[in-house]
Amino acid sequence: MQRVYAKTLEYTEGGVATIRSFETLFTNLVTAIVSIAGIALFIMLLVGGFKFLFSAGDQKQLEEARGTITSAIIGLVVIVAAYLILRTVATFTGVTGITNFNLNIQ
């Protein structure tokens, strides 16, 4: 009769849930949120610009367009402030990938 042995598996570092998994999850979450916010900012600027162009001198439509553009610029300031806060947190904690904003859509 032939002997049967159990197969041995190589231990891989990435196979176990660690605190690095939380870091990766947080980095992916921040990346997605910032990407979506950037797309929304771009769309708001376009909409505000078109409202401004097609207002035809109507004061009410001009105010709406200015409000939309102002909101988009405030959103830009919030995104930049969040980025600077994340850079500060990354500097103090040593987390390096937190400000790499690339959304890998395949």
pLDDT mean over 7-35? 69
Please state, in angstroms and rounded to a whole number, the distance separating the CA atoms of residues 68 and 46: 9
Indicate whether 47 pLDDT > 80: yes
Q: Which of 19-28, 44-53, 78-87, 88-97 has the lowest mean pLDDT?
A: 19-28
Determine the pLDDT at residue 7.
Answer: 75
Domain residue extents for the chain? 34-98
Question: Got the DSSP string for 83-98?
Answer: HHHHHHHHHHH---GG
pLDDT mean over 45-60? 92
- The DSSP code for 6 is P
pTM: 0.62
Indicate whether 89 pLDDT > 70: yes
pLDDT mean over 10-25? 63
